[in-house]
Structure 1
Amino acid sequence: MNPGAGRLLVVLAAGVALAGTVLDFERRDAGTPSTAGDDNAPDTYMVNARIKQFGADGKLRHVINADRFTHYPKTDVTTLVAPQIDLREVGDTPWQITSQEGRILPATVPDASERIELAGDVLATRKGAHDPVSINTDALFVHPDDNYVETDQPVVIEDQRGRTTAAGMQAWLDPGRYVLHGRTNLRVESLLTPAREPN
């Protein structure tokens, strides 16, 4: 073999190895583990991105913002870092829901609505001037197409009438209907505040 050609092959091989090392480092640096033979490796990343969902009537239904979206094709799950969900079709004042992390889950049956699982300091707020509400819990399932949320974790609900604690909750946000759940060691309790006289 020509000595020059041999040196060229060595240089090319070293370049390919270096490129592979750099790519692997970048994947790890982005917070995504690189596992040999992983059959559910992510296929899509989005950083500081926004997803908008429109209804059949062309109106905006909800918006999902997150610091990072990562989609895993085998399970069809999308993980979220610092998600913020805005539900736009709930009356005149939209709800905003934030958490530390979350997952967009695939439908369990055909034609089922999308589900979003949120975890870590979940806060749902409606900031309307007439009837502001806040809901705080450690975990929450959101069905954005139905404007429905639920949790089996302890929850605190605060509004102009006072503060309510419960062991779990189901909430239909359109009509503002709540079903609160209690347990033996954590009953549903409400602390009502006196109504303020108008100025």
Structure 2
Amino acid sequence: MPNRNSILIAFLMLTLIGIGYWAYDSNLHVGAQKKPPLVRENADYYLIDTQITQYDKAGELDYILTSNSITHYPHNDTTLLQTPHVESFSDPQKPLVADALNGKLLPGNQDIELWDDVVMTQADLNNGSKVRMDTDFITIYSEKGLAVTDRPVLITNDTGRTRAIGMEAFYKESLVKLKSRVRGFHEPKP
């Protein structure tokens, strides 16, 4: 009888050990079978000498973007631009023109980042004045009529020059907010 009890206890122990190992081993295989989804990070199209015309929700011309080349990446829906030239018509009386060496259309194709030798000019067709803004990086939010940078900026107009670190330019309203280290000079028109 004692031999029979020890065989039964040994059998139960081996069964419990087998069940424990099976549960542990199956958890290892379940984790190994889950693979991360395959993300395609290469470009899905590339165009040379391109012009993009964007209209707003009311069907009015919003902006025209020309670029030497554009490359679209579907995994994050961004489009890289080489030597972009943007003409914004959100206010037909005060058109905004922006040029840079590089740029990127952000997801949704409404907002644009420009960097490397960024030059923005805005002319007021009513009074003939012109403002030029130079920086090395800026983001243009076309629906808001806003251009934002945290980098150094130089603003030049008919009556002076102003330097600052950081800027918010509400170009539809012809309003510029400078963030810090503002320095400049102003010469009134005779």
The TM-score, its normalising length taken from structure 1, stands at 0.71
Structure with a larger share of its residues in strand: 2
1:136 Cα shift?
A: 0.2
State how far apart, in whole Å, the 1-side matches of 2:176 and 2:123 are.
Answer: 18
Give the alignment partner of residue 143 of structure 1, picking from 137, 141, 144.
141
Q: Secondary structure at the match of 2:71?
A: strand
State how far apart, in whole Å, the 1-side matches of 2:136 and 2:107 are.
Answer: 22
Equivalent position of 1:121 in the other structure: 117
Structure 2, unpaired ranges of 5+:
1-37
State how far apart, in whole Å, the 1-side matches of 2:58 and 2:102 are.
Answer: 31
TM-align CA RMSD: 1.8
State how far apart, in whole Å, the 1-side matches of 2:59 and 2:40 are.
Answer: 37
Structure 1, unpaired ranges of 5+:
1-36, 108-112
Q: Secondary structure at the match of 1:137?
A: strand
State how far apart, in whole Å, the 2-side matches of 1:141 and 1:55 are.
Answer: 18
Q: Which runs of 4+ in 1 moved over 6 A?
A: none
Tell me if the contact between 1:79 and 1:103 (Cα under 8 Å) persists in the aligned partners.
yes
State how far apart, in whole Å, the 1-side matches of 2:176 and 2:182 are.
Answer: 12
1:179 Cα shift?
A: 0.9
Give the alignment partner of residue 164 of structure 2, picking from 154, 163, 166.
166
State how far apart, in whole Å, the 1-side matches of 2:138 and 2:156 are.
Answer: 16
Tell me if the contact between 2:40 and 2:74 (Cα under 8 Å) persists in the aligned partners.
no
Q: Secondary structure at the match of 1:40?
A: coil
State how far apart, in whole Å, the 1-side matches of 2:58 and 2:74 are.
Answer: 30
Share of identical aligned residues, percent? 28
State how far apart, in whole Å, the 2-side matches of 1:78 and 1:56 are.
Answer: 21
Instruction: Count how many residue pairs are aligned between Structure 1 and Structure 2.
Output: 151
State how far apart, in whole Å, the 2-side matches of 1:126 and 1:51 are.
Answer: 20
The TM-score, its normalising length taken from structure 2, stands at 0.74
State how far apart, in whole Å, the 2-side matches of 1:65 and 1:149 are.
Answer: 19
Equivalent position of 1:64 in the other structure: 65
